Structure 1
Amino acid sequence: MTAAALALPRVRRALVPVVFGDGPALERFALFGTWERATPATLSRPTRPTVCVVTELAEKDRRPGHPTRRGGQAQYAYVQAAIAAARAGQVDALCTAPVSKEQISRAGIPFMGHTEVLADAFGREVLMLMDGPRVRVALATNHVPLVEVSRLLTVERLVAQLQLLSRSLVPVVGHAPRIGVLSFNPHAGEGGLLGREEVEVITPAIRRARRLRVDAHGPLAADGLFARVNDFPYDVVLAMYHDQGLIPAKALDFERTVNVTLGLPVPRTSPDHGTAYDIAGKGQASSVPMVEALLKAAQLCAR
């Protein structure tokens, strides 16, 4: 998927790629054989396409679709090497390929996702944004169990997220974005009959954000809002939890929706899908999601 995307002329015209990965695994692709070689210790700001060799895994640990403990550790090492390069100013943006949370965790590394690791590495409050051609959806909470979502929703947190979302999207949409804020409970809580989160947290947060000149509206019932996708009234939507936002975003355009992390000092993008171990190494994976993610990273750098 990554090699196929980087082989396209329109992608290569947009950026100078640096691929962090396993040396022997990358040698399988003829494309990378013509690139400059480096390691995390020798990498400098590249002017030509470069392969940064982070690991030299044994053959049994790099079989496509057959994850191992060392393979899980390696996935995490690639992410950390790319982050270090970004912090050192060696790269201008990050575009991360899918990794397996399960396999990294099985390798003994607590890992809930790229977004959380990036927030910790850069010491920033961040937002996950699914940026699609038809809708943009940001998440108030990311990779947490549903039973914990209500506890994590606070007025202060939502206000800060709405400010970050508004500020980050101005250069993207060209004006202060109109933000739709989703409810937590069915039917936007029915005035407290179906839950108190709308009354006690979400509505007060919207009111406070509006006083801070954020163009926020809601709380809005998700089922009714996403039924209006052909006449969508908002530049972006803030969803309260993972599936509430990601299901409609991916259903509307799975291949071209890009995961963007807002709030970092460098752009970070990713395809909106997982590892797909069942088809790994079979040449069946579409390169379109990675193409879109790479081009989005380049666009964000330009902006």
Structure 2
Amino acid sequence: MRLPIVGISLGDVSGIGPEVTAGALALPRVRRALVPVVFGDGPTLERFPLFRKYARATPETLGRVTGPTVCAVTALAEKERVPGKPTREGGRAQYAYVMAAIAAARAGHVDALCTAPVSKEQISRAGIPFMGHTEVLAEAFGAEVMMLMDGPRVRIALATNHVPLSALPKLLTVEKLTEQLRLMSRELAPVVGRRPRIAVLGLNPHAGEGGLLGREEVEIISPAIRKARAAKVDAHGPVPADGLFARPDAIGYDAVLAMYHDQGLIPAKALDFERTVNVTLGLPVPRTSPDHGTAYALAGTGKASRVPMVEALLKAALLASSARRGPPRRAPGR
């Protein structure tokens, strides 16, 4: 079977994206798992001996590749690509890498996407409205998507992403949660080899205490679970978040649906920061990202760990291969 082709957007060239991408792709186990196409800045890529060995392309000339390839989207001036010193032009460039990778995926040139860290602040300073990769991907593919933090000990999906807590009561609906549970069940079944067992967290402390601490569990979350179960989704809850994560090695579920950003990301990052991968569910192609930011203070120092990028790349390759094969006969080890 041919290796999956993974399109990699380089992220902010003033951050750690270029060095952790080069470091990850230098590992034999990563090279054996995928064919990379790196979308980034030409002069920045030339700094790394590994990338100088890759075939060359531009967004206009890129097709279905046969080997490792760099796709030069920009040619930034030296002052716009200094490690640790982000610029407005660099913000515009990192957005361009994401969009070029998306275009390649839509054209069928790559089988999966892996996005190195970007800076929402720098992209916004460049005049481009940007809330995050997840929102851009949803719009680009016209898809209903979910953010899933996929770690070695727990998978946690988010019912809502980058929104203020005050907006949650209006954003959480029976219909939305039901569809998200169906999406989780459908997308994760090929990975776990069966219908995944999903825990649904409550919004309020102690999952609302039967309505004493809030009505969302009674009026929204529980009805959504019942509707999802009627649609053959193996969903359970509402479950209090503090109790579920108190024993992370004995959770007993294949995945968890959290109601808001920090409710899901705090335990995901606390349990295994380096190996937890951000996965976007609901897209026609898999998309992954390491679970960290641009880390400007580490950029160019050689101290940034490549492990999160390694995990993100391997997860993208695994998901692309799983999508081609269909559901496996049994669940692979975590």
Q: TM-score, normalised by structure 1?
A: 0.99
Identity %: 79
SS at match of 1:277: coil
Q: Distance in 1 between matches of 2:185 and 2:263?
A: 20
1:301 aligned residue: 320
SS at match of 2:71: strand
Distance in 2 of aligned mates of 1:189 and 1:242: 19
Distance 2:262 2:42 in 1: 36
In structure 2, the partner of 1:95 is 114
Residues 88-237 of structure 1 mapped to structure 2, 5 A cutoff: 88-237=107-256
Superposition deviation, residue 301 in structure 1: 1.1
Inter-partner Cα distance in structure 2 for 1:70 and 1:11? 31
User: C-alpha deviations, 1:243-264, integer Å up to 9, x for none?
Assistant: 1001101110111111111110
Residue identity opposite 1:215 in structure 2: D
Deviation at 1:119, TM superposition (A): 0.6
Paired position in structure 1 for 2:14: none
State the shift of 1:19 in Å: 0.4
1:280 paired residue number: 299
Number of the residue aligned with 1:292: 311
1:260 to 276, 279, 284: 279
Tell me, in whole angstroms, the C-alpha distance in 2 between the residues paired with 1:62 and 1:146.
Answer: 36
**Shift of the alpha carbon at 1:228?**
2.0
**Which residue is 1:241 aligned to?**
260
2:320 is aligned with what amino acid? C
1:230 CA displacement: 1.7
Runs of 4+ in 1 over 3 A off after TM superposition: none
Report deviation, 1:60: 0.9
Q: Secondary structure at the match of 2:93?
A: helix
Report deviation, 1:278: 1.1
Secondary structure of 2:40's partner?
A: strand
SS of aligned partner of 1:237: strand
Cα distance in 2 for partners of 1:148, 1:58 equals: 42
User: Match of 1:295, as an amino acid?
Assistant: L
Distance 2:90 2:150 in 1: 30
Residue identity in the other structure for 1:285: A
Answering whether residue 55 of structure 2 is matched by residue 27 of structure 1, we say no
Q: Report the equivalent of 1:77.
A: 96
Structure 1 stretches lacking a partner, 5+ long: none
CA drift of 1:168 comes to 0.6
Offset of 1:114 from its aligned partner?
0.4
Deviation at 1:187, TM superposition (A): 0.8
Instruction: Number of aligned residue pairs: give it.
Output: 303
State the alpha-carbon separation in 1 of the partners of residues 61 and 224 from structure 2: 48
Tell me the secondary structure at the aligned position of residue 17 of structure 1: strand
Matched residue SS, 1:110: coil
5+ residue gaps, structure 2: 1-19, 323-334
Which residue identity is paired with 2:255? V
The CA distance in 2 between the partners of 1:221 and 1:58, in whole Å, is: 52
| Structure 2 counterpart of 1:88, one-letter code | A
Deviations for 1:242-287, whole angstroms, at most 9, x for unmatched residues?
Answer: 0100110111011111111111000101101111111111111100
Q: Which residue of 2 aligns with 1:16?
A: 35
Which letter does structure 2 place at the counterpart of 1:296?
K
- TM-superposed CA distance for 1:32, in Å, is 0.6
- Give the alignment partner of residue 74 of structure 2, picking from 30, 41, 55: 55
SS at match of 2:273: coil
Q: RMSD of aligned C-alpha atoms?
A: 0.7
Structure 2 Cα separation of the partners of residues 105 and 191 of structure 1 = 43
CA distance in structure 2 between the aligned counterparts of 1:178 and 1:150, rounded to whole angstroms: 26
- Work out the CA distance in 2 between the residues paired with 1:149 and 1:21: 36
C-alpha separation in 1, matches of 2:250 and 2:70:
44
Deviations 1:38-70 (A, max 9, x none): 110011111011000000111111011111110
Distance (whole Å) between structure 1 residues aligned to residue 48 and residue 249 of structure 2: 42
1:90-147 per-residue CA deviation (whole Å, 9 max, x = no partner) reads: 1110000010111111111110110110010000001111110000000000111111
Which stretch of structure 1 is more off in the superposition, 143-152 or 128-137? 143-152
User: Structure 2: which amino acid aligns with 1:250?
Assistant: K
Q: Normalising to structure 2: TM-score of the pair?
A: 0.90
